């Protein structure tokens, strides 16, 4: 017993073991100067007027995100599942780019003729790059189906990869049954998940380039079949700063639109601000999106916080 008491006294008296002495002897973090500067936070958006959209915007589902700060500027039914229609093709393009290179040549097998198409021909051999143009610009169901059908394991494996990809990028309340965006009880997306998907797509230079193109003509590898493609997004070239991203429509979904807009905030000329605007089940997707863009830049200011440094 005496031995144990002596041993306990030794450890309690040893400065390295005594909690008070241990913390007392460590220099306080606030007394130290970091050898580098931390990156400055992105300008923070603030609604300067207290005005928010109302019934003049018809969409049932809305999310507007300031891309650089990650701040949600406005939301309406953001966690409610909707039929995403062809906005699905954003995810399909990401999955295709995970496995294919742009120069890979695929063969058109099953021809998907219903809905929007780029008018592919059975047996046509065409690059993945041109199929992605057809998918993202023309919203061609035949283009995205060809990407899926040539995927290792076929369409079923492609759809499985879509759901795996969705989990990996934190699309928490979305599920997919096809690569096209056809209506299905188990094919759903929430507006907030669609914003997350769009934000991931914006990190891919190929997608960013393609979704901003108003029109282009592509061909098969033998230059036998030519496909003029026209972007379905009517806001391109009409609304300043709009650079994509994807339209969607079915009878169940109504009018859907995912929009990237980059424009100077107010006061003008200081710094460009990127916004993702999602509208789902709208009666006028282009009109709704235009109103929402005008609302953002008419009511928000961006505050910049500077980092103070110690000499």
Separation between Cα atoms, residue 92 and residue 179, nearest integer Å: 6
Candidates 40, 78, 79, 86; catalytic one: 86
Judge whether 89 counts as a catalytic residue: yes
d(CA 27, CA 14): 19
CA torsion angle for 290, 294, 300, 306 (degrees, to 10)?
A: 80
- Neighbouring residues of 220: CB distance < 8 A, sequence distance ≥ 6: 121, 124, 125, 126, 130
CA-closest candidate to residue 111, choices 144, 142, 141: 142
Helix (H) or strand (E) holding 219: strand 215-219
* Angle, CA 176 vertex, CA 170 and CA 178 arms, to 5°: 145
What six digits make up the tokens of 257? 């639109």
Tell me which residue of 137, 144, 69, 59 sits closest to 110, measured CA to CA: 144
Give the number of other CB atoms < 10 A from CB of residue 117: 18
- Catalytic, out of 78, 89, 161, 188: 89
Catalytic choice (78, 92, 139, 174): 139
Active site annotation includes 238: no
Q: Which residues are catalytic?
A: 86, 89, 139
């Amino acid at each position: 017993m005496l031995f144990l008491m002596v041993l306990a006294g030794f450890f309690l008296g040893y400065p390295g073991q005594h909690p008070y002495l241990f913390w007392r002897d460590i220099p306080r973090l606030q007394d130290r100067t970091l050898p580098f500067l931390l990156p400055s936070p992105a300008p923070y958006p603030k609604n300067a007027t207290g005005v928010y959209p109302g019934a003049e915007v018809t969409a049932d589902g809305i999310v507007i995100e300031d891309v650089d700060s990650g701040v949600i500027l406005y939301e309406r039914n953001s966690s409610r599942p909707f039929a995403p229609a062809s906005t699905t093709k954003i995810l399909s393009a990401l999955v295709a780019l995970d496995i294919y290179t742009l120069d890979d040549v695929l063969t058109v097998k099953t021809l998907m003729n219903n809905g929007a198409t780029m008018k592919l021909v059975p047996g046509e051999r065409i690059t993945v790059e041109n199929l992605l143009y057809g998918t993202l610009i023309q919203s061609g169901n035949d283009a995205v189906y060809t990407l899926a059908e040539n995927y290792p394991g076929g369409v079923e494996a492609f759809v499985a990869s879509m759901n795996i990809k969705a989990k990996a990028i934190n699309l928490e309340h979305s599920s997919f049954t096809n690569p096209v965006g056809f209506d299905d009880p188990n094919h759903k997306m929430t507006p907030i998940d669609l914003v997350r998907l769009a934000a991931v797509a914006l990190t891919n230079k190929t997608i960013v380039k393609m979704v901003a193109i108003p029109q282009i003509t592509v061909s098969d590898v033998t230059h036998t079949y030519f496909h003029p493609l026209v972007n379905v997004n009517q806001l391109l070239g009409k609304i300043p700063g709009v650079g994509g991203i994807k339209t969607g429509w079915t009878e169940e979904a109504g009018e859907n639109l995912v929009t990237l807009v980059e424009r100077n905030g107010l006061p003008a000329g200081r710094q460009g601000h990127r916004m993702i605007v999602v509208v789902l089940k709208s009666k006028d997707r282009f009109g709704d999106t235009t109103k929402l863009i005008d609302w953002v830049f008419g009511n928000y200011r961006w505050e910049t916080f500077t980092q103070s440094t110690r000499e």
